[in-house]
Structure 1
Amino acid sequence: MRAIVQSTLSPKPGQATTYQRVEQPEDYSRPWAIVRLLPDLRHYTVARFFNRQDAEDHRRFLHRYMPASEFQVVFDVPNSREPEDQT
């Protein structure tokens, strides 16, 4: 059993590892978001924050460690609310 776990956790040289991307629902109680700008006008939400200053600080941290990537801080609110039942 230990050999199976170890072989799974340690990739062999030349073997590609895949990462599973986990999608979480948008948390609009934290409207300030950092998005990573990707080619072809795509974007990826990196993190969400309660206030703009925390988002700007984290963006500076990301830029320091990933200088080739482009990040923007955006105020992201839901497009529309659920229609209310008007009877």
Structure 2
Amino acid sequence: IDSVSAHLLLPQEVAQKPLSINTPVYLAKATLQATSIEHFNQRIALRAGMTFAAEIAIRERNLMQWLFEPLYELHGGVL
């Protein structure tokens, strides 16, 4: 990921082709490391207009941190 917009974009601010956007989104720009992917041992060339879905991890937590985070925040960050 090269950059992520600082502000949400509303659906009417986003080009709706080839997707239809119904909720606010962030614009992310990325540089591809290859011009193809391998799927079930078959090489597939990437072409202009192809879409994809991605999840971007903004931080990592262990299970205990994830479970106790609401309690931690409730007490102002002090347990």
TM normalised by structure 1 equals: 0.20
Give 1 or 2: higher strand fraction. Answer: 1
Name which structure has the greater RCO, CA cutoff 8 Å, separation 6+.
1
- Bigger helix fraction: 1
TM-score in terms of structure 2 length: 0.21
